[in-house]
A and B are shown apart, each in its own frame.
Chain A
Amino acid sequence: MKHRILIAEDSKSLLNRAKEIEKLFKKELEKRNLSETVSVLPTGSLGYEDIGVALVIYPDNVLYAPVNSKEDVQTIVKEHFVDGKVVKKLQKPFKRFSQIEKIMGIQQRIVLENVGKISPEDIKEYIAFDGYKGFENALKTSPEGVIKEIKDSELRGRGGAGFPTGKKWEFTAKAKSDKKYIICNADEGEPGTFKDRTIMEGDPHRVIEGMLIAGYATGANEGIIYIRGEYALSIERLENAISQAYDLGLLGNNILGSNFSFDLQVKKGAGAYVCGEETALLNSIEGKRGEPRKKPPYPPTAGLWGKPTVINNVETLANIPVIMRKGAEWFKQFGVPGSYGTKLFSLNGDLNWKGVVEVPFGTNLSFIINEIGGGLKDNLSLKAVILGGVSGSLLTPNEINTPVDFNSLAKIEAGPGSGSITVLSEKRCIVDVAKNIAKFFRHESCGKCTPCRVGTDQMYKIIDRISKGQGEGSDIQIMEKLGRTMKLTSFCGLGQTAPNAILQSLKKFPDEWNAHIFDKRCPVNVCRLEA
């Protein structure tokens, strides 16, 4: 049987020169006349980008990392293919995933099932791994049937708000209109978040298939994937995938001989975090300033160009094919009631291992941090966790013993949000972190409404002052009042969530704030205060 070398070529691996390694392999194999029997292909993240280039060899299921030099390449080709033995010194376990599997008893990944397994640049590989089967099943079902299946799966949106996907689709399906749209929200811009990129770079067809099914179910025949402009590789992989899908008749008119037609294109963002907000995104696609629109009407009934529009997150859509392939009941064996399926998390901050993981809903947050993330770097102790991105919540060490699912997290005023987990060690200053968060929102506020436009600016200015030792006794009170007003009266989610983590930090770390304000001192010596 033919061997396949799959080299992780996600953005992060590419910056470790994965492309060069790919070339070296090709050269080396040619030299040894092995080109015919061994193919070299790119794949998505294998979870070792922090140490270097990683690759897997199928069907042997051997993972090597880091493969950083010509010598490494030569060794692998010679020993693995010529001599037929595993290069022990380079071999690594399928680290994260195998561990989860062991501990949680899960047989396979759902969303990332193909990432690191197939070449994202070749539609045939996707198809070989049951790609587009879910869509074929959908075509055999009625649109109502598809919606029922999704509703039965109780899939909730992975873009932050957790809205039931089947219900959303149903609104659009029921809306009468000559034109409907499916939009994939791939604007991923929340600091600390990079899970959608992992899907798009590693398994782009999965997103396309999800959108096809959504289109069929709702009666939409145009789709748009809105990808932030900075995600060059995601754009490239999806554009490539789309053109391959057109070539195979999986996009376009009368797909697979059915009555269903669907066109799909990629639109690039141009640097504005707020465009991740679904109505701002619509304006951006229409070519306008990315300012949010008034809701209601909501996009499912009046979206792009005023037409009914489903907007789903990349991860949400990536869940669809497998649900249509294996059924809602199968899907619901993962996760917990109220939060079925798995969730991707982007681990970052002061952890030993950082990257994207997929865990079933209900996994304990401390498990993710300590087991999967390998605990804190340098054996430091944990000070806080920012969960769900900077618009999410700030958790203290005694709050992390919580299962990550919508209901459990709600109890501690948190949510999975964007799926980011930023870990802060004891060496981090809360005021400094708050200032960085405030700066972010100040920079990304669209400016339309006063509470957010001026509120984010003032929030930053106050914290900046405090961090410099110019805080005043009344600052905390003003920040609380300001934060409340922003939460209650900002026009969109950006302004409404901007003060979240900051307000929580005021409540959870009062001593640290007070030290800055009253003692003019930073307890961990991060801020430079003028005495």
Chain B
Amino acid sequence: MKKTSILEDLQKAESHSKENYITFKDVLQISENKKTPLSKIYGVGTFYSMLSFKPRGRHIIRICGGLACHLAGGDKLINKLKEVLQVDVGETTKDGLFTLEENSCLGLCSVAPVMMIDDEPYGNLTEEKVEEIIKSIKEGTKK
């Protein structure tokens, strides 16, 4: 088996978590396995914006704040999302379904404005579309 790095261990731990985060227990385990002090692992984990040590929602919404999306009215979408979800950027909805995060550019600039929910990209967004998408995911998850 290939040796994994601390970062990969963290990514793996997070991907196993329903709440999209790395638990303290995971970190202790990695520290033990890799003979690496906690401070180092904590430093790595807090560096990357896709990693979290705090529980997050079942779905991560990454709304793009890059220039192309900004020009295409991205700000409005961010506000819309905040309104629909009743959270600020970086927060998780009360029902634990969504965490809203901002991304610097999702590399889909030609269909700006865009967002990703988990691994799924959504482009050419409008406020209405955003509302719809959130609604359908909510319903889908409830079922």
Contact = CB atoms under 8 A, between A and B. Distances in A.
Nearest to A346: B109
Of listed A188, A287, A349, residue having the most chain B CB within 10 A: A287
A272 B47 contact: yes
Contacts of A287: 4-9, 44
Given A230-B116, A268-B11, A437-B67, A348 B5 contact: no
B103 interface: yes
B111 A284 contact: no
B122 A272 contact: no
Nearest to B112: A348
B68 A192 contact: yes
A274 B104 CA distance: 11
Nearest to A196: B107
B48 A348 contact: no
B82 interface: no
B108 A194 contact: yes
Contacts of A328: none
A14 B111 CA distance: 12
Contact of A189 (B8, B104, B123): B104
B141 interface: no
Interface string A357-390: 0000000000000000000000000000010001
A443 interface: yes
A420 B51 CA distance: 28
A420 to B, nearest CB: 8
Given A273-B104, A437-B67, A289 B49 contact: no
A249 interface: no
A355 to B, nearest CB: 5
B69 to A, nearest CB: 8
Interface in B33-51: 40, 43-44, 47-51
A44 to B, nearest CB: 14
Given A14-B121, A270-B11, A272-B49, A390 B67 contact: yes
Contacts of A290: 47-48
Interface in A128-159: none
B20 to A, nearest CB: 12
B48 to A, nearest CB: 4
Given A192-B68, A287-B44, A439-B65, A270 B7 contact: yes
Interface string B49-88: 1110000000000100111101100000000000000000
Interface residues of B, number: 41
Contacts of B8: 267-268, 287
B67 A230 contact: no
Contacts of A269: 48, 50
A193 interface: yes
B105 interface: yes
A272 B44 CA distance: 11
Interface in A264-305: 265, 267-273, 284-291
A168 interface: no
A232 interface: yes
B111 A15 contact: yes
A170 interface: no
A185 interface: no
A15 B122 CA distance: 6
Contacts of A446: 47
B106 interface: yes
A270 B60 CA distance: 14
B95 interface: no
A459 to B, nearest CB: 15
Given A191-B68, A287-B9, A386-B67, 8 more contacts: A15-B122, A193-B109, A269-B48, A288-B40, A288-B44, A290-B47, A290-B48, A443-B104
24 contacts: A12-B108, A12-B123, A49-B110, A50-B110, A190-B105, A191-B66, A191-B68, A192-B105, A194-B107, A197-B107, A268-B8, A272-B49, A287-B6, A287-B7, A287-B44, A348-B110, A348-B112, A349-B68, A349-B71, A420-B109, A422-B67, A436-B65, A436-B67, A440-B104
10 cross-chain pairs, A with B, having the tightest CB-CB distances, nearest first: A287-B5, A271-B50, A270-B48, A354-B110, A271-B49, A287-B6, A191-B66, A191-B105, A232-B119, A348-B109
